[in-house]
Amino acid sequence: MATRLADYERKAELLKILGHPVRLCIVNGLITKECNVTGIQDCLKLPQSTISQHLGILKAHGIIKGRRNGLEIIYSVVDEDVIRLVRAFMKEAQPFQEV
């Protein structure tokens, strides 16, 4: 029973993290295409510091990862549960790259 409860706690935590509209938008976009902070900022029209804060939260919870490409960091979604959830939930929404 404790293992099942832990699974529910993990899923509930993911839902809380994705409950912010900016993080949900970032994850939806990154599922479609890897991107750096500048690309996300250009699409969302938000300050770089705001984007970085949200990326930090997503990275700290293991939802995304960053890989260095020269001077920039390219982000992608690595949590399969999140990918399935966001794809199902945002089926009709446009990812930020296509705005």
Q: Tell me what pLDDT residue 4 has.
A: 87
**DSSP helix/strand/coil, 69:** strand
Give every CB contact of residue 48 below 8 A, 6+ residues apart in sequence.
37, 38, 41
Largest CA distance in the chain: 47
Domains contained in the chain, number: 1
CATH value at residue 93? 1.10.10.10
Q: Tell me what pLDDT residue 98 has.
A: 43
Tens of pLDDT along the chain (99 residues)?
667 888 899 899 999 999 999 999 999 999 999 999 999 998 899 999 999 999 999 999 999 999 999 999 999 999 999 999 999 988 776 666 543
Q: Report how far residue 46's alpha carbon sits from residue 67's, in angstroms, rounded to the nearest whole number.
A: 22
Structural domain boundaries, residue 18: 2-98
